[in-house]
Amino acid sequence: MKNIIFLISHNPDPRFMKRIALASENAIVTVYYIPRGEYLFKKIENVKFVPLEISYSKYINGTFDIVKRFFSLMKFLNRFLKQLNLQTIDIIHCGNIDMLFLAYMYKRKMKKNTKIIYEVADFHRLIFVERNNIISIIKSFFYKNLEKKLIRKVNNLVLTSIQHYENYYSTIYHGKVTLLPNAPSSNLFRKFQEHTLNTLTIGVIGLIRDKEQIINLIDAAEITGAKVIIAGTGFSEVEFIKNYISDKKNTYFYGPYDYENEILELYSRVDIVFSVFDITRPNIRFCMPNRLYEAIACNKPLIVPKETFMGDYVNESGVGFLVKYNDKEELIELLFELISNKTIINSKKDNIRKIEKKHFEDFSDDLITAYAE
């Protein structure tokens, strides 16, 4: 059997757990991860999970300082390579540039025929930066040149959106590309059961980010009488939001959840899924997050930002509502309209029923082949 290791820069999230489970069906799998974030994950039988003791810089302004991060990696590198050298590794599946760096160094120094699968779930914010910020420009130059060098050793680039390839990675990588949208597992989501709700309830389910947009939703719900459920984990945004809603009766903070056992219950408790992000970060314009696919799988309309790839999809398929990312008044008007006319939501649900649902299993054959090669 092949020996496959995963290198993950955070607690294994639902996206990576699907990959790990798939790989473990026909290979010996070890998962190395940095205990970061509050993702709750259920360990898979016969898969070894090993936390990495890397001391990263504190989370600042929503992103790690890329330079400090790599100083931490350099201190850790030799010890980690000696640990990996105790086993023969056929494939390394890694996510994020720091884990690609470790995979690159292993392949360069230890075993040159090890295959690297590099997965990019979203554009790093340093790929697209404002031209009037000299510090960001310098960091972006460092990041992009480092990734361009490291990606030369990659055998398979896994992307969750074709937009990632068309808008950037086609310029730096010319090898094999696997498109693997962040869709949910059909084995899990086919069990979903709808619940009837008395009050319009909007859910923020998954990674908690962009607190300004979530604050707008909380305020809009308080004004209109709608309810908000926030379930998931994040970083600096979480504590800010928890403090903000301390006196808000219309918002419930659920917090971290066990994906396998709780995700369907969470979706059954909401009428609409909120997926509005700050689009001043260009990387957000191209994202197709997991909550988009999960919401559709559960027949739940979405609220998404205008002027984005996701917004275009939602608009063309008629499965949700578009708002300007920073317009609280537009959001308030939408909630009032949805509360006064429930047929609007039902019409969106009818549209969702007409489209083909996408699940992880629909895209996994190419990944199965990559693990077998």
Residue 62: CB atoms within 10 Å: 15
Q: How far is CA 184 from CA 150, 158, 160, 256, 357, in A?
A: 30, 16, 12, 18, 10
In angstroms, rounded to a whole number, what is the distance separating the alpha carbons of residues 289 and 210? Answer: 14
Phi, psi (deg, nearest 5) at residue 232: 145, -165
pLDDT at position 59 is 38
Q: Both tokens of residue 27? A: 């290979």
Instruction: Give yes or no for a contact between 100 and 8, defined as CB atoms under 8 angstroms apart.
Output: no
What is the strand order of the sheet 227-234 is part of? 251-255, 227-234, 201-208, 272-274, 302-305, 320-323
Domains located in the chain, CATH noted: 2-183+360-372 (3.40.50.2000), 187-354 (3.40.50.2000)
- All residues at 6 or more sequence positions from 223 whose CB lies less than 8 Å from its CB, including other chains: 332
Instruction: Give yes or no for a contact between 164 and 124, defined as CB atoms under 8 angstroms apart.
Output: no
- All residues at 6 or more sequence positions from 2 whose CB lies less than 8 Å from its CB, including other chains: 26, 27, 28, 90, 91, 371, 372
pLDDT tens, residue by residue, 210-247 = 999 999 999 999 999 999 999 998 877 899 999 999 99
Q: 117 forms bridges with which residues in the sheet?
A: 93, 156
Helices then strands, each counted (H, E), the chain: 14, 13
Residues of the chain with pLDDT under 70: 37-39, 55-71
pLDDT at position 66 is 63
Residue carrying the six token digits 């909120």: 274
What's CA 84's distance to the chain center, in Å? Answer: 27
pLDDT at position 58 is 45
